[in-house]
Amino acid sequence: MSSLKDVANLAQVSLATASRALSRPETVATLTRTRVEGAAHQLGYQPNMLARSLRQRETRTIGLIVADLLNPFHALLAKSVQDTAERHGYVAFLLNSDEQEGKESRAIDTLRGHLPQGLIIVPTSGFARRLGSLPRLPVVELDRVSGAPGVTTVTVDNVGGARMATQHLIDLGHRDIGMIVGQLDISTAVERHRGFLETMRRAGLSYRPDWVLSGHHREDDGHRAARKLLSVPGDRPSALFVGNNEMTVGAVLAARDLGLRLPHDLSIVGFDDSRWAQTMFPALTVISQPTEQLGTLACEHLVRQLAYAHSGNAQLALPARVLNKAAPIGPVRVQLPTELIIRHSTSPPALVFG
Amino acid sequence: MSSLKDVANLAQVSLATASRALSRPETVATLTRTRVEGAAHQLGYQPNMLARSLRQRETRTIGLIVADLLNPFHALLAKSVQDTAERHGYVAFLLNSDEQEGKESRAIDTLRGHLPQGLIIVPTSGFARRLGSLPRLPVVELDRVSGAPGVTTVTVDNVGGARMATQHLIDLGHRDIGMIVGQLDISTAVERHRGFLETMRRAGLSYRPDWVLSGHHREDDGHRAARKLLSVPGDRPSALFVGNNEMTVGAVLAARDLGLRLPHDLSIVGFDDSRWAQTMFPALTVISQPTEQLGTLACEHLVRQLAYAHSGNAQLALPARVLNKAAPIGPVRVQLPTELIIRHSTSPPALVFG
DNA sequence: GTGAAAGCGCTAACAC
DNA sequence: GTGTTAGCGCTTTCAC
């Protein structure tokens, strides 16, 4: 690996001039500039970011931690953050916490050592406590909120989405509705649960605590919960609202295992659309989320914060669409709408009671 | 952010001693060690990896580039590489080339600036040409081979897998078999194609060039290709071998759109198992790959190379399972077996000719 | 417009 | 065992 010194030597200029020619070309005579550029190119010179960052005290790097890389929702979040970061001249290093607090902690420490200028995270429930170890680092929470103070959050209207899902089932004539919800120490689960309860209550429907089962967010959990909810033939819900994409798959498979046919014997609404929601049989009615936009916005808000943190007029470097919004300094909370997509996993109940 | 200097001051020792106490505790008196550790803990000290790496000329970092983060196969590859890297004391920074040469180039340059000690990549077809810009960097190609000389490759037996898939269809009685294959500048596509052709020929079946369609690797391509292959009612294959997971979804949906029912009207075998291969209707017969192991092995081979590259007795740091294999210095080519999983998308053809 | 020199935070000789 | 010092590759005053 050739260094800037090699370039300077080859171009017959001093180290300082070589540096300037490459990073701030306008401060150098045209002739020397081309000479230096030529030398750099000839040597395949690539600046050593470690040295540059150490000196400049800024890495142009942001940390990105998702909770479950294998969940396509998180993968898309990650991709859109990375693409947006690149567009703004940052590189986002992606780590995966696997929904484990311990792994999340280690990921944070790892990133910390590499001095990211900001952090975008789909937090686990332990994150609020860990936040203290990140002094003055701009943080954006994505999809979920940990309750940590002073962080920007970019989420979806989970309560509203859950209301739509539940109301859809009620409108179809269902009265015996159960819910499979995620871990109740995760904000999305809590909010979707709240939307469900509210809507049930408002419709005057009875609340059956034993018909609301909580699980972690994986397919297994959905399978287990659904199995439990559906295995009492005479006394089971006629419809299910499932609070996340992976668990929905599990629930559908459990129903299938029990010989229940969707939507005739059981209606299911899932939260989050996905490839398999569309390809399963029957195609799933779901609440869909603007996933890509979620990632993009999270990143743009972070970038904006970084620009303001660093210099008074750094805004000039930002694209208009980021700037056109009023430019707040502090943390903001962005909430995007969801949408009900009606497919074939929901229909009126086979037997209407009452 | 407090630095080592702050720790040294607080512990009342010199900078050097503080450094030693933290990185090589055995070289320091027990008392001073505990004092330094206490100070470090109290300050929430986190070593600055930029400075350490700059000085030590090693970053304990590896670059990881996958071609399509949204493809669950690649996501699992990425996760298993990252987990394995962590287990060996490295951090793998994950970037996504999106199957685009340009993005791959930029990803490589980005990584280069951060001085990774090795690179694990699912290469696009342009990678072999780019390799020159990576002087002396150990590289492991994962899943695909670009043809670049001197790199370790960890792949699956694609020819064998394609043979099994094709033979399975032939054994069921199919004679009119088509294939949807990926880009023919990607090794996996070429090899799967080869396995298909060989097996057809060996069975004495005629080769219909117009029944072999190539596409990029996404769902759309599979959809388009299948639509084309299946739209001539009297003259269409009775079975299809589809060369990758995403395209298989597209093919199945296209068949559905055309009113063909699987497996009665059409048999389909896919390559690579996935969540939706299992949940689709009907569940898909596929060639499955040891995806996680692929990622793990790629990383372990890279780590081994790094150990040998750096010091004669670095092996001591490696776990037994890596060492038990004979320890080659040069690049190796690892090839893992695939497996045929028979589900419900294949059956004997409705009409048997001949 | 250009060069000399200091210093980012850390580790590794080398003294003591 | 511990301290002093040089230097990793770069940017940035400060002179000229």
Q: Using DSSP, state whether B273 is helix, strand or coil.
A: coil
Q: CA A17, B135, B87 angle in degrees (round to 5)? A: 110
Q: Answer left, alpha or beta for residue A325, where phi above 0 means left and psi between -120 and 50 means alpha.
A: beta
Whether residue B142 is found in the same domain as residue B116:
yes
Min CA distance, B203 vs chain A (Å)?
34
Beta bridge partners of B287: B271, B340
CA of B187 to C1' of D2 (A): 58
Q: Is the CB of A9 under 7 A from strand D?
A: no
Half-sphere exposure of A202 (CA within 13 A, CB side): 12
User: Does residue B344 fall inside a structural domain?
Assistant: no
B53 touches chain A (CB under 8 A): yes
Domain termination site, one of A267, A289, A311:
A289
Q: Using DSSP, state whether A267 is helix, strand or coil.
A: strand
Nearest nucleotide (C1') to alpha carbon of B52? C10
A58 touches chain B (CB under 8 A): no
Nearest nucleotide (C1') to alpha carbon of B56? C11
Whether residue B263 is found in the same domain as residue B302:
no
Output the pLDDT for position A309: 73
State pLDDT tens for residues A36-45.
999 999 999 9
User: Does residue A271 fall inside a structural domain?
Assistant: yes
Whether residue A183 is found in the same domain as residue A278:
yes
- Give the max Cα distance, chain B: 91
Whether residue A300 is found in the same domain as residue A323:
yes
Q: Using DSSP, state whether B250 is helix, strand or coil.
A: helix
Among chain B residues, the shortest Cα distance to A132 is held by B44
Output the pLDDT for position A331: 83
Alpha helices (H) along A44-157: 49-56, 72-87, 101-113, 127-130
Torsions phi, psi of B270, nearest 5?
-105, 165
Min CA distance, A50 vs chain B (Å)?
5
Nucleotides of D under 7 A from a protein CB: 1-5, 7-13
Band of pLDDT at residue A206, cut at 50, 70 and 90: confident
Minimal CA–CA distance to B208: which of B172, B240, B176, B164?
B176
Q: What is the CA radius of gyration of chain B?
A: 26
Tell me the C-alpha to C-alpha distance, in Å, between residue B48 and each of A139, A292, B54, B335. Answer: 20, 33, 10, 39
Q: What is the rounded average pLDDT of the residues A233-249? A: 95
Whether residue A164 is found in the same domain as residue A257:
yes
Domain termination site, one of B254, B289, B324:
B289
What residues of chain B lie within 8 A of the CB of A281, using their CB? Answer: 280-281
- State yes or no: pLDDT of A73 exceeds 80: yes
Peptide bond into A282 cis (omega under 30): yes
A contact residues 222-251, partner B, Cβ 8 Å cutoff: 249
Q: Tell me whether residues B86 and A106 touch, CB distance under 8 A.
A: yes
Residues 15-34 of chain B in contact with strand D via CB under 7 angstroms:
15-17, 20, 27-29, 31-32
Minimal CA–CA distance to B143: which of B242, B248, B71?
B71
Whether residue A124 is found in the same domain as residue A234:
no
Q: Using DSSP, state whether B79 is helix, strand or coil.
A: helix
Q: Is the CB of A304 under 7 A from strand C?
A: no
Q: Tell me whether residues B275 and A79 touch, CB distance under 8 A.
A: no
- Centroid of chain to Cα A324: 24
Residues 39-98 of chain A in contact with strand D via CB under 7 angstroms:
45, 47-48, 51-52, 54-56
User: Does residue B346 fall inside a structural domain?
Assistant: no
What residues of chain B lie within 8 A of the CB of A22, using their CB? Answer: none
Minimal CA–CA distance to A285: which of A275, A300, A301, A273?
A273
Whether residue B178 is found in the same domain as residue B272:
yes
A280 touches chain B (CB under 8 A): yes
User: Does residue B49 fall inside a structural domain?
Assistant: no
CA of B50 to C1' of C11 (A): 12
The CATH number assigned to the domain holding A214 equals: 3.40.50.2300
CA of A17 to C1' of C1 (A): 9
Mean pLDDT by 10 residues, chain B (354 residues): 95 97 96 97 96 97 98 98 98 97 96 97 95 89 95 98 98 97 97 98 93 95 97 92 96 95 97 91 96 98 88 40 51 96 96 48
d(C-alpha A332, C-alpha A301), whole Å: 8
A147 touches chain B (CB under 8 A): no
Half-sphere exposure of B341 (CA within 13 A, CB side): 16
H or E stretch covering A350:
none
Output the pLDDT for position B329: 62
Output the pLDDT for position B317: 39
Amino acid at B182: G
Nucleotides of C under 7 A from a protein CB: 1-5, 7-13
A333: exposed, middle or buried (Cβ count in 10 Å: 0-12, 13-18, 19+): exposed
Nearest by CB: B275 against A44, A133, A276: A276
Residue nearest to nucleotide C3 (CA to C1'): A14
The predicted model scores a pTM of 0.94
d(C-alpha A141, C-alpha A104), whole Å: 14
Amino acid at A91: V
Output the pLDDT for position B206: 87
Amino acid at B130: R
- State yes or no: pLDDT of A279 exceeds 50: yes
Nearest by CB: A275 against B112, B115, B249: B249
CA of A87 to C1' of C6 (A): 35
For chain A, the average pLDDT equals 92
Torsions phi, psi of A286, nearest 5?
-145, 165
Whether residue A114 is found in the same domain as residue A139:
yes
- Centroid of chain to Cα A20: 39
Q: What is the rounded average pLDDT of the residues A173-183? A: 97
User: Does residue A315 fall inside a structural domain?
Assistant: yes
Alpha helices (H) along A3-48: 4-11, 15-23, 30-43
Whether residue B105 is found in the same domain as residue B140:
yes
Domain that residue B140 falls in: 57-156+291-336
Min CA distance, A202 vs chain B (Å)?
35
Whether residue A176 is found in the same domain as residue A148:
no
Token pair recorded at residue A30: 């045209």
Among chain B residues, the shortest Cα distance to A63 is held by B93
Whether residue A197 is found in the same domain as residue A260:
yes
What residues of chain B lie within 8 A of the CB of A91, using their CB? Answer: 95, 110
Token pair recorded at residue B164: 């099994």
What residues of chain A lie within 8 A of the CB of B262, using their CB? Answer: none
d(C-alpha B265, C-alpha B253), whole Å: 14
A41 touches chain B (CB under 8 A): no
d(C-alpha A239, C-alpha A1), whole Å: 63
Q: Is the CB of A344 under 7 A from strand D?
A: no
A60 touches chain B (CB under 8 A): no
Beta bridge partners of B42: none
Q: Is the CB of B48 under 7 A from strand D?
A: no
User: Does residue B351 fall inside a structural domain?
Assistant: no
State pLDDT tens for residues A109-156.
999 999 999 999 999 999 999 988 887 899 999 999 999 999 999 999
Token pair recorded at residue B330: 């040069």
Whether residue A138 is found in the same domain as residue A99:
yes
User: Does residue B109 fall inside a structural domain?
Assistant: yes
Nearest by CB: A91 against B72, B110, B279: B110
Q: Using DSSP, state whether B276 is helix, strand or coil.
A: helix
Output the pLDDT for position A275: 86
CA of B54 to C1' of D1 (A): 27
Mutation for A interface: B43, B114, B130, B246, most A CBs within 10 A: B114
Beta bridge partners of A341: A286
> CB of B52 within 8 A of CB of B24?
no
User: Does residue A83 fall inside a structural domain?
Assistant: yes
End-to-end CA distance of chain A: 78
| Number of domain units in chain B | 3
Output the pLDDT for position A1: 84
B143: exposed, middle or buried (Cβ count in 10 Å: 0-12, 13-18, 19+): buried
CB contact set of B98 (below 8 Å; sequence gap of 6+): A79, B67, B68, B69
- State yes or no: pLDDT of A168 exceeds 70: yes
Min CA distance, B297 vs chain A (Å)?
19
Residue nearest to nucleotide C5 (CA to C1'): A16
